[in-house]
Structure 1
Amino acid sequence: MSLDIVVIGLSLSSSWGNGHATTYRALLRGLAAEGHRVLFLERDVPWYAENRDLSDPDFCRLEFYRGLDELAGRWADRIRGADAVIVGSYVPEGREVIDAVAALGPPLLAFYDIDTPVTLGLLDEGQEEFLAARQVPLFDLYFSFSGGEVLRHLEEVRGARAARALYCAVDPDRYHPVPGEPCWDLGYLGTYSPDRQPTLEALLIEPARRLPDRRFVVAGPSYPAGIDWPANVERIEHLAPGDHATFYSRQRYTLNVTRAAMRRMGWSPSVRLFEAAACATPVISDDWQGLDELFPDREAILIARETEDVVQALAGVSEEARAALGHAAQRRVLARHTGRARARELAEALQRQGAAAA
């Protein structure tokens, strides 16, 4: 059955400084391929308006709203008439948006938390800008970026009616190996984050100091001017999604660094992890619970716990073994973690919940 879905998310139009846009793009392309219709509503804010890299998607309808009054007024009938409405995490004035949408009475209301461990950490601190603790039980379905024990916690401690894992995914038509010789021995793609920086220091910057004859790269915005980058670390301020596949394909290894809250909870694979693997680029990652079940260590990924692990990978792994790691990860991603596979999971969950409520 074809579904009519409204998604209210942080951003679809701009990938600048967030991982939400590429996550939504893969998922919504998958939904379109499965025959579902999606309206994506995005708050029109200057930061993303000035850095849009997708203004007219061909896989969904994208519209912008200026504030709560416009959202609850202009789009009220569309929200009421949809088969399902999904509000995403980190939406501006998210708490007020959720209350306004719930008051309109859509047939099925869901939350897609692309930041679950961060969200729960904020709730623990009493910070409710994007989601209030009282709102968790409002949703018919709570889709979580994190799986494993986090789902039990959402239901048993936070009061979610039904928590379901909905990991990020990748569009294999856009993320695939690009022929060419490697430019860098190790690279990293990610916006600066204070809680990720110590891991980046240990797993990329320090290895660069120890291996001055090797080449490294860090792409992403907002890094402070005071960081002491070694001479063999290239900096790229921003990399548009259209350039990601080439970027990954030019690395002998790519580094995956997980935010502290997500590392503590586990079962929180980032979209960058799936994107790099889809390009058959071998991944070196920090360690967290559940990673080894998604990508077995030394079979489809290399898990690094300290600087020496990275140095050993760069200097001591044969080219044949390195390539085998990348291809093993790629096979896993193409089998289980594409946007279309994730779209099927989402649609099936919505359809089951809708049938149960009928």
Structure 2
Amino acid sequence: MKLLVLCSSLDLRYPASCTPAWWQLLKALREIGTEVVAAPYQGPAIESPWWRCYDNPCRLEGDIFRRIKRLAGQARGPVGEEFRRKAKETPFEKFIRIATRVWIRPKWQRHLHRILRDEGDVAAVLSLSVPPNHLVGLPRSIKRKHPIPFFFYDGDVPGSLPRFQGFALAFRIYKGADLSEYDGFFSNSQGGIPELEALGATNVYPLYYAADPDLFAPVETEQDIDVFFYGHGSEFRADWINAMIRQPSEAMPDVRFAVRATGMDRLIGNAEALLYSSFSKLREYSHRSKINLCITRKAHTSVYASSSARPFELAAMGCCIVSNPYLGIEEWFEPGKELLIVNNAEEAIETYRDLLSHPEKRKALGRAARERVLQEHTYRHRARQLVEVIADTSG
């Protein structure tokens, strides 16, 4: 099978949280025998041993959009959850909607037609988190000339859904979209599927995040950090950053807390702010840490089985994981055996002290978590699920 994959981005330098996951998924697809032809919607075309890549026909426009988006966010300042729920379409969003309709979408439509013509034997097109309201009419146009199915994978559910309005510098990807154009949908969230169906999506399947066990493998190294967290932004999780980092770090001056993050400096109490560096650096920080925190946003923890990458990455590395309450996490890991859950700052402090005093307990949790990943949650598992759905639809 050959897939044409339209990726939100393939450049790990861009702070798009899904990009490392797309690398792992595309790699896994190739490893199970699927030929992958990719095209990035944002940023440069990047070749790899696992896929061939076509240019981004709107790279300049995308770079301009990214800069404007960043400046708009800086000018606006922090955005509260209540503001996002009530906000109407902003002038920036209106500008983007018009620009995509009259300029971006036609260029991509011509580009994809050329790729499909030149490749000749593509079995299906898969869009990875490219905003569907940027592509209105494109799937239907593709299918008129090429009798192949067109799929969409939203890796940001439930944050992408209308009731959550996206995160601080995001936008409403479903406003004005026509989801009936797609032959099938994949969602990182099981609980978000009914809302996607209400928006017009058909044939919606859960496809959870996972981890490449070779990329995220255990490494023997000195553990000089006691408690560690990494992540992008504090939206929808500021209360848990307070309960799991700020309060414990102030109550436990003998314990080294460290954070590698953006937009959290005022929230982390006595925790040390580590250098925000490359994607690869976060693995080093995690290996150096006795306890790794998984602090997931309220949007994900409140909607059943809404997966994020962090639990799978940490588990694959054999880390000792402590998490905030997470609705549906038992779909992937067994609390008490493969990770621990804390319900407030007092429980967090007690749990940290216990784990720091018992190295074997930490190691046992890490071993069990990695074993669960190897059994059920590698990207090869996800790739096989995806290909099976596409094959059934195509057949």
* TM-score band, normalised by shorter chain: 0.7 to 0.9
Structure 2: distance between partners of 1:169 and 1:154: 22
Which residue identity does 2:107 align to in structure 1?
A: E
Q: What residue number does 1:340 align with?
A: 380
Conserved 8 A contact 2:133-2:175: yes
Code of the aligned partner of 2:393: Q
2:189 is the counterpart of 1:146: yes
3-state SS of paired residue (1:28): helix
Cα distance change of structure 1 residues 104 and 244 upon mapping to structure 2, 3 Å threshold: same
Q: Hey, what does 2:11 align to over in structure 1? A: 13
Give the aligned partner of residue 304 of structure 1. Answer: 342
The one-letter amino acid paired with 2:181 is L
3-state SS of the aligned residue for 1:315?
Answer: helix
Q: Output aligned runs, 1:249-328, within 5 Å.
A: 249-317=287-355, 318-328=358-368
* Equivalent residue letter for 2:48: P
Aligned partner of residue 119 in structure 1, secondary structure: coil
Aligned with residue 331 of structure 1, among 371, 379, 382: 371
Equivalent position of 2:140 in the other structure: 102
Give the secondary-structure state (helix, strand or coil) at the position aligned to 2:137.
helix
Asked whether the 8 Å contact 1:123–1:133 carries over to 2, the reply is no
Normalised by the length of structure 1, the TM-score is: 0.87
Structure 1: 5+ residue stretches without partners: none
Question: 190-199 or 162-171, which moves further after superposition?
Answer: 190-199
Counterpart position of 2:154:
113
The equivalent residue for 1:59 is 50
Helix, strand or coil: the match of 2:330? helix
Distance 1:203 1:228, change over 3 A: closer
Q: Is the 8 A contact 2:185 2:203 kept in 1?
A: yes
Render the CA deviation track for 1:15-41: whole Å, top value 9, x for unaligned.
542221111011111001011111222
Q: 8 Å contact 2:186–2:205 — kept in the other structure?
A: yes
| Residue 230 (structure 1) aligns with | 269
Distance 1:311 1:268, change over 3 A: same
CA distance in 1, matches of 2:213, 2:264: 33
CA contact (8 A) 1:87 1:98 kept: no
**Aligned residue runs from structure 1 range 161-172, under 5 A:** 161-172=202-213
Alignment gaps of 5+ in structure 2: 59-103
Superposition CA RMSD, Å: 2.4
Q: 2:230 aligns with which of 189, 194, 219?
A: 189
Q: Name 2:95's counterpart in structure 1.
A: none
Report if the CA contact (8 A) 1:16-1:238 is conserved: no
Structure 1 letter corresponding to 2:3: I
> CA–CA distance in 2 between the matches of 1:98 and 1:203?
42
For the structure 1 residues 136 and 75, does the alpha-carbon distance in structure 2 shift closer, same or farther, using more than 3 Å as the test? closer
Aligned residues: 338
The TM-score with structure 2 as length reference comes to 0.79
Percent identity reads 26
Q: Which structure has more RCO (C-alpha within 8 Å, separation ≥ 6)?
A: 1
Secondary structure, in 3 states, of the residue corresponding to 1:22? helix
